[in-house]
Amino acid sequence: MNDPKQPPMIVPGYLKTELRSPAGPLWPLVDRAALDAERAQQVEVDPAEYDLSVISPGRPRALGQLIVVSGVVLDEEGRPVRNAMIEMWQANSAGKYLHHNDPSPVPVDPNFLGFGRVVTDAYGRYRFRTIKPGGYAVPDDGPGSASDWWRPPHIHLSIFGPTFGSRLVTQMYFPGEPLNASDLLLNSIRDRDARLRLISKFTPTLSTRDGALGYEHDLVLSGRYQTPFEDE
């Protein structure tokens, strides 16, 4: 539990971590077969979901800086993971989520839902288009919670790998953002290299002529997965 490459369960100032993290011991798992088991049922993903910047064809584009995010999903040995499903969700360019749980007074963008899904190709690659999310002030949750906490711009990523044990839920940050230095979540990870793995790279070669700036972001799932059809 004290892995410096992972966040701690309790993050001081983020009150919900103190109210929701178990105090008792984590008991040993006697059989890991259900973690290594394949997640056979696939979820159907419409290819149009790769573009978060338009709700549907013909609708106006969401406000904000258009971006492209691309990368590979790898296993712990650096092998590409094909058919991984990635769910992403984020705030709009003003820092507001289109969600009934978001109390922020910042305006909704009528042309931005803020979520989409993609599936990695045979080389483990993925790509999606969106707008750069805004930062926002985290509401004060009462005693024990930080009163001056701002979330830097970030995109939530939830990845379903080949097995039940390869599940990953994480957040992607942007390089050079002043709020990165003070974010409670990003800086709860003690290992500097591990923190840097959460920050995407500005990659001009990925930028597109229609105005999308390119960011590269690779993801590494736990476990080792034999790629089908590969010679041993």
Q: Residue numbers of the site for other proteins (CB under 8 A)?
A: 5-9, 11, 14-24, 26-32, 34-35, 37-41, 43, 75-77, 87, 89, 97, 99, 101-102, 114-115, 117, 156, 158, 164-165, 167-171, 185, 188-189, 193-195, 197-198, 219-223
Considering the complex, what minimum distance in angstroms separates the CB of residue 214 from other proteins? 20
Q: Residues 129, 151, 195, 217: which is the catalytic one?
A: 151
Closest to other proteins by CB, 7 or 135: 7
Closest to other proteins by CB, 66 or 189: 189
CA 181 to mean position of chain CA atoms = 18
Residue with tokens 């590269």: 216
Considering the complex, what minimum distance in angstroms separates the CB of residue 199 from other proteins? 11
Closest to other proteins by CB, 143 or 204: 143
Which amino acid makes up residue 114? G
99 an active-site residue? no
Closest to other proteins by CB, 7 or 153: 7
100 an active-site residue? no
Residue with tokens 């978001």: 102
CA-closest candidate to residue 128, choices 167, 94, 95, 87: 87
- The contacts of residue 219 (CB under 8 Å, 6+ apart) are 71, 72, 73, 74, 86, 157, 159, 168, 170
What is d(CA 83, CA 189) in angstroms, rounded to the nearest whole number? 29
Q: Residues 50, 126, 129, 154: which is the catalytic one?
A: 154
154 an active-site residue? yes
- The contacts of residue 217 (CB under 8 Å, 6+ apart) are 69, 70, 71, 172, 200, 201
| Residues designated catalytic | 97, 136, 151, 154, 156
